Structure formats: structure tokens, C-alpha cells
Structure 1
Amino acid sequence: MSLRAAVLGHPISHSKSPALHLAAYTQLGIGISYTAIDVTGELLPSLMRQIRDQPGWRGLSVTMPLKTAMLSHVDEVRGVARTLGVVNTVSFEDHDGAPKAIGSNTDVAGIVNALRHAGTGAAPSAVVLGGGGTAASAVAALKELGTDNAQVFVRDVSRTADVRAAAASLGVGLHIRPLAEAAQPTASADVVISTLPPRAADSLAAGIAALKTPTPGVLLDVAYDPWPSLIASVWQAGGGAVVPGLEMLLYQAVEQVRLFTRRGDDVNAAVIDVMCDAVGLARRAL
């Protein structure tokens, strides 16, 4: 029986998840195919029914706009995904001959490990750009890094249910404001996590550049195509450290590979290095 996995989302053609996963499976010597499937929230129910009827599925990577919608299509939600109500990973386990779909969240680990790899510790002042599912994961990551309060800047202050719920469940204090007011607080923050779609932070980047002040903190921009983003370029020009979104994608994919292969202990430094090679990241220093 052939083994399968895929990344689901819309749009999905830009995704680098297939390159990351296939490199890992080749290094591990496991024959798991991995494809990108473009699917909207409206079509997700029918796709999940098809997947459940097909043998050999090991897992699904879930990206926008499906991370909340996927909650309704799994049999069990585990770990921080249960706390956040945000699923970016579905793994399939065999229970009495039938597949059981398990929802989990590896975005939080991806953000934490990407920031730690960049040398980031606790952030006295933290900013999150965006208010959706990935922003909820960003709040959880900041909590894990020791931050208890964050400013959140959003394009629409009425659409912040995900990030508000996450903060409430984690005991993180939030100050939510319109994105138009973000330039000064963002430029002076210790850590900034942008969860905005590609180019959605361009006007903010222009506002930060117009301040003509240093940007001493660390910026993680989860949008990685096109790269560098305008905000990443402005941030670096101001003297700040930039963590590419590919770093987060790498580390969340490492956790997915562990789940999909069911060989977690084998996903070692050599596997991570070939995953880095596949997307043009520097290999990890020992």
C-alpha cells in the first residue's frame, strides 16, 4: 500500500512544504508521497470524506484558510491545538482497522524554535501583527518564551476571535489596536511576529521607514514568498534581526514529519539538514 501525505490550503501553489517533506522522507528511506492540494473551506468537507475513504494516508499539513475549519473534521484534538482551537496538522492513526484523524498544532513549536535558533529569549515588549489562527499560535509561542503581554495590530478589529480566545486560555494580556497605529510600537518592540499575508504589511513597513528610528528587536515574518518582504528589508535596514518565515516553516514541518513517519527519534540533525538544503536555508550549526 502506498503511503500519502499532503498540504491543504488556498492558494497553495507557492508552498514549500512538499520540498521540505519529500527531502525528509528520502533521507529517512520512507516511501511517503507528498503533494499540494488547493482546497477552500467550502470544499474541505468533501475532500476529507474522500481522504478517509482512501487507504494509506499518513498526514495532512493544514494552512490558510483552513486551520480553524479543520477542527470539525478530526476525531480528536491534542495538545496546544485543543487550547487554541487551531489545527495545522492532521495525522492518521489506526484504531481497530479504521483510520482515526488526530488534529494537532506544530505552528507553535515552529515559531518557538525559529526564534530560539535566532537567539531570542523572553521579550519584555512583544507585537503580533494579525489576528487569525497563526496569530493565536504566535501568542502561544510568546507565552512559551516567557512573555505575558502582547500588543496585537490587525486590519479589522472586529475579526480577532481566534487571537482573543487563545490569549484568554493562556492567560496572556492583549492590547488590540488597528494596524494603522502599529508603526511606532512595532519599531520599538523586542520581538515582532508578523502573521499577515504576503505584502499586507507593506504600508506598515513604509510607516516604520518614515520614522527614521532604529529597529533594535527581532522580527519573524511568517510570509516567505516573496522574500525578502518589504517589512523584513526595512527592519534589517534599521539594525534589527530578521527571522525568515522559512525558519518557522522548517521547524513546524520537522514536527509533522515526526508524526507522519511515526519514527520521531529518527528525525535527527541529518534529516533537518537535508530539509534546509531543500528550501535554501543554512544547515544547522552543531
Structure 2
Amino acid sequence: MPSPDPTAARVFRAAVIGSPIGHSKSPLLHAAAYRLLDVDCSYSAIEVDEESLDAFVRDVRSSPHWRGLSVTMPLKSAMARLVDHSDHLSQVLGVVNTVVVEDDGGGCVLTGHNTDVVGVANALIGAGVDTAERAVVLGGGGTAAAAIAGLARLGASSARVVVRRPEASAGLGRIGAELGLDVDLVEWRSAGAAVQSADVVISTLPPRAADPLAGELVDSGFRTQGTLLDVAYDPWPSAIAAAFSSAGGTIVPGLDMLLHQAVEQVRLFFPDTPQDRAGVLNVMCDAVGVPRR
């Protein structure tokens, strides 16, 4: 039996998982980064729902060459329970959007991270936001938890979180307390007033879910000098982004958040590969046809 060639390239594997997943731009972003870094890694989009997640993770553990997973909705909370370890921030949030897969010699070890936090903070910083004195988060799910952490990273001391059922989002208050940020849960009927008084708004709602609120803002004659980050990027501009822009505000597309968190994912998947973060970000921008950041 011939000896294996030690110089033969090893093909690594990574993927984004979620449901639905067909719209994801992550394969374009990661492929561009790996070409730049000369890393031999395939990256695909795989449809995985909550019912099939356990089986998928078992398959990852038993298959060779996995380096990482990007995790999107609706799997972020469930994945936090399936990894072997999580970094401190992911433990606080209870939400994982990035899984690093390593072979420790005795089998695969899965470590959870949350790069959405870096994505939120860096997207806002790139738009000129250096602090948030009157911050509002729309929605109460896993991405809202990352938004709270991103605001804390920017030095915010408080945030109003607008949700349909405050009792179901009580965990966000605990997260805020652990991160040194006071969270005030506000019922959805107050969304319009909350947005109009804010200097930074982060919408974590699914595509089109904020359309009725956008109509309410337009009808009210809304004016603002604030900044909106809408994590939904398809379709773009969203109705709420268009309303914010026409009212005089600054809009930050969710694609910016996706770009910044993807740069961090590449670093985590291949920590031993020298990386120029600005260079990686620029080739990712080119891959999806947006101006370099």
C-alpha cells in the first residue's frame, strides 16, 4: 500500500446551515476569502431545520475535514445546546451562530461562538456610530440578543427592546444585566414612538415583518437624524429602511453586518492562516457587488 503524499492538499469543508437557506450570500463571501487566503476549503449552503439538526451534527462529528459551520435561523439557540464548548459571550447569550470544528485526536470537538455581535458593532461603527444613548431593538429573538451585546460593545448603557410578548423575552433582561446594559422591554404597540425617539435602531425582524411599522412611520410624518441597522437584507431596501432614509436618517443594510461577521468566522475557522482583515472584507464586498468598506 503506497504511503500518503504529505504534500497533497487537504480539502477542508465548511457550510452555512438553516431553513430556508437558498437566499444565503455566505457561500459567496467565504469562497472569496478562501481564494484570497489560498485555503483549500469548500463552503456550501445546506438546508437544515430544527428537526434534522441533531442528525446533521452527528454527521459532522463522523465526517472528515470539517472546519466550521455558519448557523442561521432558526437554529441558533438549538445549536448552543449541541456544541461541546462555547466561548463566554455565547454562553451569556445562549445563542451560537458560528461553530468551530476541531479534531483533538480523540474525535471532533465543536466550539460555539457568536460573531453576530462583532457584525452588529462593526457595521454600526462603519456607519459612523460611536455610541448609542437612545437605542432601540426591534424583535426579541436570538439576533436581538446579539444586538444587545453589540450595543454593549459600543458602550451603550441601556436599550429599549420592542417585542410582541414581553414575558417571552424576559431572558433579554438577564443578558443585558450580565453585559452591563439596562434592557427595557416594550410592547409592540409602542414601536412607532420608540423608533421616533431613538438615535440608533436595530431591526432584528424577519424580512417584511417591519412593513406595517414602516407605514405607520411614514403616515406620522416621521423625521430623524438617527441610524437604522436592518439585519434583513433581502429584499433591499426594506420598507422600514426606505422610510428611515426618506425621513433623513442613515441606513445600514444587514449585508454590512453579514460581511463583518463573516470576516470573523473565517478567522475562527482558520486561526493559523495569516489574515489581513481589511483585505478579506474587501474581497467579500467584491463578491456580492457592494462598495468596499
Which of 256, 259, 264 pairs up with 1:250?
259
Letter in 1 for 2:271: R
The match for 2:33 is 24
TM-score by length of 2: 0.93
For 1:178 and 1:127, how far apart are their aligned partners in 2? 12
**Structure 2 residues not aligned, in runs of 5+:** 1-9
1:95-148 C-alpha deviation (Å, 9 max, x unpaired): 124221110110000000000011101111000000011100101111111111
Change (3 A) 1:68 1:116: same
Change (3 A) 1:26 1:162: farther
1:164-213 C-alpha deviation (Å, 9 max, x unpaired): 33213223212212222211220231100000000000011111111103
In the alignment, is residue 198 of structure 1 matched against residue 179 of structure 2? no
For 1:265 and 1:85, how far apart are their aligned partners in 2? 30
The match for 1:110 is 119
RMSD (Å) for aligned C-alpha atoms: 1.3
Which of 6, 11, 29 pairs up with 1:2?
11
Q: Does structure 1 retain, via aligned residues, the 8 Å contact 2:13–2:67?
A: yes
The match for 1:176 is 185
**Structure 1 residues not aligned, in runs of 5+:** none
Q: How does 1:122-271 map to 2 (within 5 A)?
A: 122-263=131-272, 265-271=274-280
For 2:188 and 2:14, how far apart are their aligned partners in 1? 37
Name the % identity.
Answer: 53
Q: Does structure 1 retain, via aligned residues, the 8 Å contact 2:214–2:239?
A: yes
Cα deviation for residue 75 of structure 1 reads: 0.8
Bigger Cα displacement from structure 2, 24-33 vs 165-174: 165-174
For 1:69 and 1:8, how far apart are their aligned partners in 2? 12
Runs of 4+ more than 4 Å apart: none
| Structure whose alpha-carbon radius of gyration is higher | 2
The match for 1:48 is 57
Equivalent residues, number: 284
TM-score by length of 1: 0.96
